[in-house]
Amino acid sequence: MLSKNQLEIDFEKLISAINRKGDIKTVKFQPVYLNMMKVQQDRIKEICGNRFDKIEARGSLISILIAYTREEIQFINHLKPDGLRDTEQWNKYASAYYLLNDQLNIIADKIAKKVEGIPILATLEGIAGKVNHVSDYFLQTVSHRHIAELAGIGWRGKNQLIIHPKFSCAIRFVSIITPYQYEADNKSDNNSCEDCRACLDVCNFLDKQSILKDYREQCRRYINHLNLNADVCGKCIKACVNNSKFSSNFNLKKLKIIKNYIVKWPKDIINLHFYRYFNIPNIINVRLLSY
Ligand code: SF4
Ligand code: SF4
């Protein structure tokens, strides 16, 4: 069995290779499973297949996050000089979202191989406009946020995202189911937002969540209305990074992920989303950049 210490070392190598920051935590499988909605339990059972009983009895979940860079977050809700929304800039955040998902999936796959595990993909992309209601998501996904929260990655913010003490909610998750028994990390204090309300000030749906029937459905419709290249909005993330009570504690990577770094990236990370992110038209240009 791979020790927890070795797991953290291996993760650090993978995250450094792509010039990003991240975090990894573990939690026992059973308490997370018992705290899930029935539909999510069914989904995770399906993913485990005939390994479910063994995993439920002794297994663990590994929660991994990768953080956006500060620059990627500033593309959110970018305005033109005339005050109109700059969709082209906002779409750069959408591209970063895809790239992070790819990077997470690749890292999860590599870690899963070391722990006889099963990776749960980072997200289902492009379904916000295909489902009729936000509750339809629950049938198709396992909540990485739920796993991350119970693994102690951060606290549940007023924007309902997980707030990491160093990276705010400018993060994306992936999870791995493993039959190995790992010590659980401590869960964070859930009242850690204190009297901050930066995210509530930028989003009426969040501000009125206690009186709305389901604010997440309003959020889904707003995301559809934005019609960006990914199912994203991110205004509540940017508010947390820039304006929250804790913004001076957050330490997102400041540099843009520059093209020159691709020479160091594992080949399998250079894929379609990579080209879109860097606006590179074809493989020949990628090769030229390596010299
Ligand atoms: S993603 Fe946008 S619409 Fe959804 S809660 Fe955050 S700010 Fe509001
Ligand atoms: S902006 Fe403030 S209130 Fe909202 S999630 Fe971040 S810390 Fe919490």
Residue 169 in any domain: the answer is yes
Residue with tokens 């959408």: 94
Max mean pLDDT among 104-108, 129-133, 284-288 falls in: 104-108
Of all residues in the chain, the percent with pLDDT exceeding 90 is 67
Residue 72 φ/ψ, nearest 5 degrees: -60, -35
pLDDT band at 102 (very low <50, low <70, confident <90, very high): confident
Range of the domain at 19: 4-183+193-259+266-278
Interval between CA 147 and ligand 2 midpoint (Å): 20
- Is residue 40 within 6 Å of ligand 2 at its C-beta? no
End-to-end CA distance of the chain: 40
pLDDT band at 258 (very low <50, low <70, confident <90, very high): low
Residue 118 φ/ψ, nearest 5 degrees: -125, 120
Mean pLDDT throughout 69-87?
Answer: 94
Q: Which ligand is nearest to the CA of 206?
A: 1
pLDDT band at 122 (very low <50, low <70, confident <90, very high): confident
Domain count, the chain: 1
Residue pair 169/157 in contact (Cβ under 8 Å)? The answer is yes
Mean pLDDT throughout 151-172?
Answer: 96
Interval between CA 170 and ligand 2 midpoint (Å): 12
Q: Which atom of ligand 1 is least distant from the CA of 204? A: 8
Mean pLDDT throughout 17-42?
Answer: 93
Residue 44 in any domain: the answer is yes
- Is residue 239 within 6 Å of ligand 2 at its C-beta? yes
pLDDT at 286: 42
Helix (H, G, I), strand (E, B) or coil at 118: strand
Q: Which of 193, 202, 206 to mutate to test the pocket of ligand 2 (most atoms within 8 A of CB)?
A: 193
pLDDT at 99: 87
| 46-55, 227-236, 267-276: least confidently modelled range | 267-276
Residue 290 in any domain: the answer is no
Residue 249 in any domain: the answer is yes
Mean pLDDT throughout 105-133?
Answer: 79
Q: Ligand 1: which residue has its CA nearest to atom 2?
A: 233
CA distance 168 to 246: 8
pLDDT at 1: 86
Residue 291 in any domain: the answer is no
pLDDT at 289: 37
Interval between CA 16 and ligand 1 midpoint (Å): 30
pLDDT at 68: 96
pLDDT at 133: 57
Interval between CA 266 and ligand 1 midpoint (Å): 33
Interval between CA 192 and ligand 2 midpoint (Å): 9
Residue 274 in any domain: the answer is yes
Residue 64 in any domain: the answer is yes
Residue pair 189/120 in contact (Cβ under 8 Å)? The answer is no
Interval between CA 131 and ligand 1 midpoint (Å): 18
Whether the per-residue pLDDT at 272 is higher than 60: the answer is: no
- Is residue 170 within 6 Å of ligand 2 at its C-beta? no
Q: Ligand 1: which residue has its CA nearest to atom 8?
A: 203
Residue 157 in any domain: the answer is yes
